Structure 1
Amino acid sequence: MDFELSEEQRLLKESVDGLLANTYDFEQRKRYIKENGGWSKLIWQKLAGQGLLGVPFAESDGGFGAGAVETMIIMEAIGRALVLEPYLPTVVICGGFLRHGGSVAQKVAHLPSIIDGSRTLAFAQLEKSSRYDLYDITTSAKKRGKGWVIDGEKLVVINGQSAETLVVTARSRGAQRDKGGIGVFLVPADAKGLTKKIYATQDGLHAADVTFTSVEVGAEAVVGDPENALSLIERVVDEARAALCAEAVGAMDESLKITVEYLKTRKQFGVLIGSFQSLRHRAADMFVALEQARSMSMLATMATNCDDAADRLQLVAAAKVQIARSGKLIGEEAIQLHGGIGMTMDARIGHYFKRLTMVERAFGDPGYHLRRVSESGPLV
């Protein structure tokens, strides 16, 4: 397999890396995190201005018709810069639902405003008892005339504070853990009966717990089949997992660079600590873990193009396990090698560790994905 980037992909990498290098140092990030919603609207417009919000969408929908590799490139850059802006929930996840399951009318209504940066979205999926099972849903969607009435609660909705539209999973029939009877609905964030509890997460993002009390939506709100949307949800979430793997690789890469630079400049008792062989060995272990993670991130990226859901599940789950292991090793070693300063809010490295820890848990922790791999049989 050829792992070299094409000329267009190299230009994309240079473009996004250059933009974030000029606009996203650590001090600037501290200012962005204090803005309404916890991210910068100006930076979001710059991402839109460079066409980055339209990368995965078809040219016929106003996008660039790029694929998973281009998304991987952008997400790695996002990880290196610790970007706060809601690229994952808006473009990758909610945009993914529209790309794979949206009607022509839904694409016309939503994609242009995603691409030009005038609208952000959020994915409302997690519930109190659902853990990581995408089909464990108690939020209900009951038919009323031509429309639907949604009742229930969703937790930790990333970008839930700022999003103009929520993509909501809800049960149209059946019991709580049935794999059938599940639908996906586009719900305006200002809909009557929708309330939010806003809070910051450990990695600096903002989330919301969203309650739906007799929230009415029309027939046009349904994405795909309102009773058989689980396969669509699984496909989009697998793409989100692959994107998170790429983001984690970017964060690990930068963590290693920061740590190596610290070893080269920090003195203890008048001696550079980077001269100690034992610390060099630990840095070498971090490098090995990074390269293992990078290769598995590439595998997950390629796997998102699999039409066979079982193959995709197996490969993405395996990648998520390795990403978690590498992230834990690199994050912990980076903190240890920085000493006490690594635990302070003023040290960049601690913020990378926080983000890696959150990525480890997002859409399934390593134990969950290891079970998925073992239950699916030998790797293809």
Structure 2
Amino acid sequence: MDFRHSEDRQMLADTLRRFLAAESPPEARNRAAYDAPGHNAKVWAGLGELGIAGALFPESVGGFGGSGFDIMVVFEELGRTLSVEPLLGTLMVGRALMAAGGRPALEQIVAGSAIVALAHQEAEDGGLATTAIRDAEGWTLNGAKAVVAQAEAASLLLVSAVAEGRPALFLVPADAAGVSIRGYANIDGGRSAQVQLDGVRVGADACVATDGAAALAEAEAAGLLALSAEALGAMDVARDMTIDYLRTRRQFGVPIGKFQALQHRIATVLMEVEQARSAVINAADAFDHKQGPARDRVLSAAKYTIGATGQLVAEEAIQMHGGIGMTWELPLSHYAKRITMIDHLLGDQDRHLQRYVALGKVA
């Protein structure tokens, strides 16, 4: 099987890589990532002009891609530059809306002209506690959402809530009365927020899915693939940085890469990264050609593999660099933080190992 990108996908990857290298080099990325609003508006506008969001969606909704490998290409390049632009929210909210039958807001999302955020996770792990009560004029939402990525920058929130006994989805303007957003910086760059909904009134048409479980599953599937690909791109760079350091750092008059112990360690890193690449390729293929538990099992396998490999790559890269690997000025430290934190997004290694086993009994 030929795993090389098609000509169109390679062109997409090259275009995105050149743009991000020019507009979001490490220093510029860090200035945007660690200060409000947590991303670079100029870079976001440029991504919109390039039509990058459109690559994440099929032609049926106005995009020009939408396959698992299209998602992989885009997020792998984002991982290579540690981009903090809100494309994960674009992907997950857009996929949820597609599964729910599509909405007018989807056009803006696919065009990259609107920043959106998925407000689903809650502080307590006891199930969905946010509620939506219907009346003659619409819905009233009450509850709180935790760790909502880029909520401060978003104009629309896709909010999950229990409505008439089922998980429903609502499109809520971020500036609606009763919505309060308390943002904070993420340790790996970008910003997230606690979103409070106190008596938020929305119209009847704000409910995009009265039974949103399937739509949320589609959003999660796309998010798992995207995060796995992003981590792969970041690991590629961390690996290359480490190899370059082993070739140039000298001790006892020779490059430290000449020492056999370090050669063995970097060889292990190389093999593990390639294994992770295979897992992401498998996940991209499953995203397109499998459904239900069979697809989700492959995605969990990829997320678990990425988490375990990412931990190894981050630790080995830092250790082989020595103390300098921990410094703010060296880009490697930021890559290590992002690789580590991706493991905790949408479920960590432990959760996805358990999910993989459980889904094996169903598939």
TM-score calculated relative to the size of structure 2: 0.95
Identical-pair percentage = 38
CA pair 97-377 structure 1, distance change in 2 beyond 3 A = closer
CA contact (8 A) 1:57 1:99 kept: no
DSSP-derived class of the 1:304 partner? helix
CA RMSD of aligned residues (A): 1.7
1:312 maps to 2:295: yes
Pairwise CA distance, 1:256:
0.1
Q: Which residues in structure 2 correspond to 1:1-380 (within 5 Å)? A: 1-33=1-33, 36-90=36-90, 92-103=91-102, 106=103, 108=104, 110-130=105-125, 136-174=127-165, 181-224=166-209, 226=210, 228-306=211-289, 308-377=291-360
Pairwise CA distance, 1:378:
6.8
DSSP-derived class of the 1:305 partner? helix
DSSP-derived class of the 2:338 partner? helix
Pairwise CA distance, 1:94:
0.9
DSSP-derived class of the 2:84 partner? coil
Pairwise CA distance, 1:172:
1.0
Pairwise CA distance, 1:146:
4.3
Deviations 1:170-199 (A, max 9, x none): 11134xxxxxx1011111000100101110
Give the whole-Å Cα distance in 1 for the aligned partners of 2:359 and 2:192: 33
CA pair 232-112 structure 1, distance change in 2 beyond 3 A = closer
Pairs aligned (count): 363
CA pair 379-69 structure 1, distance change in 2 beyond 3 A = farther
CA contact (8 A) 1:255 1:349 kept: yes
Q: Which amino acid aligns with 1:163?
A: A
Range 78-87 or range 62-71, more displaced: 62-71
CA pair 34-201 structure 1, distance change in 2 beyond 3 A = closer
Give the whole-Å Cα distance in 1 for the aligned partners of 2:314 and 2:205: 45
Pairwise CA distance, 1:215:
0.4
Deviations 1:26-57 (A, max 9, x none): 11212323554111111111111111111133
Give the whole-Å Cα distance in 2 for the aligned partners of 1:307 and 1:151: 36
Pairwise CA distance, 1:306:
4.4
TM-score calculated relative to the size of structure 1: 0.91
In structure 1, stretches of 5+ residues that fail to align are: 175-180
Give the whole-Å Cα distance in 2 for the aligned partners of 1:279 and 1:171: 54
In structure 2, stretches of 5+ residues that fail to align are: none
Pairwise CA distance, 1:307:
5.2
CA contact (8 A) 1:148 1:219 kept: yes
